[in-house]
Amino acid sequence: MNPDVTALTVTEGKDQFYPTPDNVAGKMLAGIDWDMVVNILEPSAGKGNLVLAAMKAHAANTRRNSKLNIDCIEIDPYLRAILKQNYAAEWINPLRERESYLDNLPYDERAMHMDELRDTQNKIREMENANINIIHDNFLTYHGWRQYQLILMNPPFADGDLHLLKALELQKGGGSIVCLLNAKTLNNPYTKSRQLLRRELDKYGAQVTFIKDAFRDAERRADVDVAIVRVNIEHQQETHSDIWERMEKAAQADQPEDTEVTDLIAGDYIEQAVTRYRVEVAASMELIRQYYALRPYILNELVPGPYARAMLTLKVDSDRYHTDYINVDYYLHDVRLKYWRALFQNEKFVGKLTSAVREKYVKKVEQMADYDFTLFNIRTIMVEMNAQVIDGVKGAILSLFDKLTAEHSYWTECSQNRHYFNGWKTNKAHKIGKKSIIPTYGMFSNNSWSRETFEVNTAYGVLVDIEKVFDYLSGAMTDDHDILCRIQNANANGQTRNIELKYFNVDLYKKGTTHIKYRDMELIDKFNIYAARNKNWLPPNYGKSTYVEMTSEEKEVVDSFQGAAAYAKIMARPDFFLSEPTRSVGMLTDGKGDSYEK
């Protein structure tokens, strides 16, 4: 308890007993979310007026058979006796007597009262679901460990400030308080305890409602104005751990074995994650060690027998067996898997991968749980990933080229996608023009309940890889979220024609086709050149020799592909038109600028 509170005196006297009137209790209980309440403390229970009101409110506003624990504290032994008697004699026994009377009526008459009988039986079950315990006598000397979702209190008017301060101390870890106070306690803060209470209530943003003459017609009348004080304190998880602190300091003192990769340009987040992994594992292993050291002192038998077990257990999440034995291998597997998953879900790490390569590594992450989450192992996987990125980019570009030209050319509408030219040693060469048409099934929903103009996810799936390929070619990578936002905005506005994306405009047709109209023809030229060179449709000297230096056979191919003037523009800007697209992807590198490649 707050030391400022314990030093203050308490006024005693039996004249402080004022049972809560029903109408005031109703106001106190209004607005409580009973589905979130399991444990209630009534620290000045008297003969149980608030307890009964809480039981009724809980039964009326929560699921049937929902358990409720009400712990009661009452300093007056006479009132404690009444409270025990009231629970059975005044609350449950009359209901049981009414149930018995209705149940024993003649059949025809009983049928007429069936609704009342069922209602009475439900009330009995609900009453019995409330577990009422008298746990202490003086609230100001109470020390307990149970966590209460609600403290419901009508403390002695003369000492209400001390009682509410005590309740605030109990709930500092999180919970609610509804307290009935003498209004003078708040309006006339002339004592240290009242001043302290005002500061505490301000700190927690308490709500105060004043009621005049609340006890004018009460069981014990009093000429007094009261205040209903509501305090909701957010639950706070304890974040301080001595074990964690010790392991964290130890990790900071240790130098990494592999200093070559401590400056990964992929981001300090990798080093931070590796350090956190080391701290987490070290702290957890220390916790396990401490648990086994403590275990003999927390057995379920005071005199250990052959079947004695610890009352508290540590359990690995993936271990389905509830035993005292902690499977360290299971734990290490799970924690390694957690960190590898986080790495492969981090956009900084995998954001530049094609969807095919990313999918491959998502499937592979389960295997990584067999490897420690270390800088060495991360670097090893980066070597493999960079090689996959390069191969993936090349494959994605050529695959898209085939998709936009030859793959659907058997469709009459798509037959114009291919623009033929005389290739090197072949006459089957082709390229992309200003527009492509591809079949896209399922772009429009057949369900009448769908409110979407078109299927956003389907459109995104069709267009995102196309945009990513053009990102590779242009060297200007874009967050995938950008294209998704543009598609979503078009869908929200009912737009299916001339949807403007980063490199092209799109028309979506319900007949099942998507028309792609390119805006940057220089990028299309680079696309065509890259595909044609990789398919050996252009002369080996393309981009190496000027047009004048070419043989007549080479000139014939260039003339058919683009013409001498256009070729001169290519030769004037080789860094753009002839560069490898993988240079713009942004490989994972070390701090020296060297990429990890095979």
Lowest mean pLDDT among 108-117, 135-144, 336-345: 108-117
591's CB contacts (< 8 A; 6+ apart) are: 263, 264, 265
Torsion of CA 201, 203, 205, 210, to 10 degrees: 20
- C-alpha closest to that of 243 among 301, 180, 303, 285: 285
Listed in sequence order, the DSSP H helices in 155-209 are 160-170, 183-187, 192-204
Residue 301, pLDDT above cutoff 60: yes
| 126, 57 Cβ separation under 8 angstroms | no
* pLDDT tens readout for residues 88-127: 666 677 778 888 888 888 888 888 888 888 888 877 776 6
Q: Give the CATH H-level superfamily of domain 3-233.
A: Vaccinia Virus protein VP39 (3.40.50.150)
Cα–Cα distance between 380 and 597 in angstroms, integer? Answer: 10
The 3-class SS string of 391-414 reads HHHHHHHHHHHHHHHCCCCCCCCC
Residue 346, token pair as written in the block? 């981090």
Residue 7, pLDDT above cutoff 70: no
Sign of CA dihedral 56, 58, 64, 70: negative
10 band by pLDDT with thresholds 50, 70 and 90: very low
Lowest mean pLDDT among 20-34, 50-64, 313-327: 313-327
Cα–Cα distance between 200 and 196 in angstroms, integer? Answer: 6
264 band by pLDDT with thresholds 50, 70 and 90: very low
Stronger pLDDT, 358 or 71, i.e. the higher one: 71
* pLDDT tens readout for residues 267-297: 577 888 888 998 999 999 889 888 888 888 8
Whole-prediction pTM? 0.52
Strands 426-432 and 418-423: antiparallel
- Beta-bridged to residue 41, according to DSSP, are 71, 151
Cα–Cα distance between 591 and 260 in angstroms, integer? Answer: 9
Cα–Cα distance between 271 and 582 in angstroms, integer? Answer: 26
Consecutive H or E run containing 339: helix 328-345
Give the pLDDT of residue 237.
58
DSSP 8-state secondary structure symbol assigned to residue 542:
B
Residue 33, token pair as written in the block? 């979310």
143 band by pLDDT with thresholds 50, 70 and 90: confident
441 band by pLDDT with thresholds 50, 70 and 90: confident
| 40, 231 Cβ separation under 8 angstroms | no
Contacts 24+ apart (CB under 8 A), 6-10: 8/162, 8/191, 8/192, 8/193, 10/140, 10/159, 10/162
Give the pLDDT of residue 583.
57
Based on C-alpha coordinates, what's the Rg of the chain? 38
574's CB contacts (< 8 A; 6+ apart) are: 543
Contacts 24+ apart (CB under 8 A), 113-119: none
Q: What is the mean pLDDT of the chain?
A: 82
Cα–Cα distance between 109 and 316 in angstroms, integer? Answer: 60
Give the pLDDT of residue 584.
52
Mean pLDDT of 478-500: 87
Torsion of CA 260, 263, 268, 269, to 10 degrees: -30
Residue 12, pLDDT above cutoff 90: no
Give the pLDDT of residue 180.
94
Mean pLDDT of 330-351: 85
Contacts 24+ apart (CB under 8 A), 332-336: 332/281, 333/369, 333/370, 334/369, 335/277, 335/280, 335/281, 335/284, 336/277, 336/368, 336/369, 336/370, 336/371, 336/372, 336/373
Share of the chain above pLDDT 70, in %: 84
Give the pLDDT of residue 262.
35
Give the pLDDT of residue 238.
57
Other CB atoms within a 10 A radius of the CB of residue 370 amount to 11
Stronger pLDDT, 417 or 524, i.e. the higher one: 524
Residue 503, pLDDT above cutoff 70: yes
Helix (H/G/I), strand (E/B), else coil: 231: strand
Give the pLDDT of residue 591.
36
Other CB atoms within a 10 A radius of the CB of residue 116 amount to 12
Cα–Cα distance between 48 and 90 in angstroms, integer? Answer: 11
- C-alpha closest to that of 67 among 126, 134, 150, 149: 126
Stronger pLDDT, 457 or 126, i.e. the higher one: 457
Give the pLDDT of residue 202.
95
The amino acid that residue 165 corresponds to is L
Phi, psi values for residue 511, rounded to 5°: -70, -10
Other CB atoms within a 10 A radius of the CB of residue 320 amount to 7
262's CB contacts (< 8 A; 6+ apart) are: 256, 271, 375
DSSP one-letter string for 450-490? ---SS-HHHHHHHHHHHHHHHHHHHT----HHHHHHHHHHH
Phi, psi values for residue 420, rounded to 5°: -80, 150
Mean pLDDT of 205-214: 91
Residue 487, pLDDT above cutoff 80: yes
367's CB contacts (< 8 A; 6+ apart) are: none
Share of the chain above pLDDT 90, in %: 36
Q: Where in the chain is the domain with CATH 3.40.50.150?
A: 3-233
Cα–Cα distance between 267 and 259 in angstroms, integer? Answer: 15
The side-by-side arrangement of strands in the sheet containing 150-153 is: 130-136, 68-73, 39-42, 150-153, 175-182, 226-233, 207-211
Stronger pLDDT, 94 or 4, i.e. the higher one: 94
Lowest mean pLDDT among 55-69, 313-327, 375-389, 395-409: 313-327
| 148, 175 Cβ separation under 8 angstroms | yes
Cα–Cα distance between 404 and 215 in angstroms, integer? Answer: 84
